Amino acid sequence: MAPMPLPLPLPLPPPGCEVVISGTNADQLRARIATVAEDDKAGLVELGVELATSQCRQLLEHGVAGLHFYTMDRSKSALGIIERLRSESLL
């Protein structure tokens, strides 16, 4: 099965939305994504790995027993998250 393409630009919550993602509100998330060029797929993937790593770090620091990743044929991102968590001795 081929990976699903990422829609660019990514749809975001509307301004003023109070959604919290990994300790980042929607406006902060929108500002972070805006720093990545619209056609920079690698930069967007890197930002996603960074945000997911932050969320996983918080979960592990709060005592979750483990993590499970649904990779949707995008295992490189999951491996990047795992490598970062291992480098911080969280896994």
What ranges do the domains of the chain cover? Answer: 20-87
pLDDT band at 85 (very low <50, low <70, confident <90, very high): very high
Name the residue with tokens 């990779």. Answer: 71
Query: Pseudo-torsion of CA 66, 71, 72, 77, nearest 10°?
Result: 160
Name the residue with tokens 């994504």. Answer: 33
Reported pTM: 0.69
Q: Is the pLDDT of residue 67 over 70?
A: yes
Average pLDDT of the segment spanning 17-36: 71
Q: Is the pLDDT of residue 19 over 60?
A: no
Q: Is the pLDDT of residue 5 over 90?
A: no
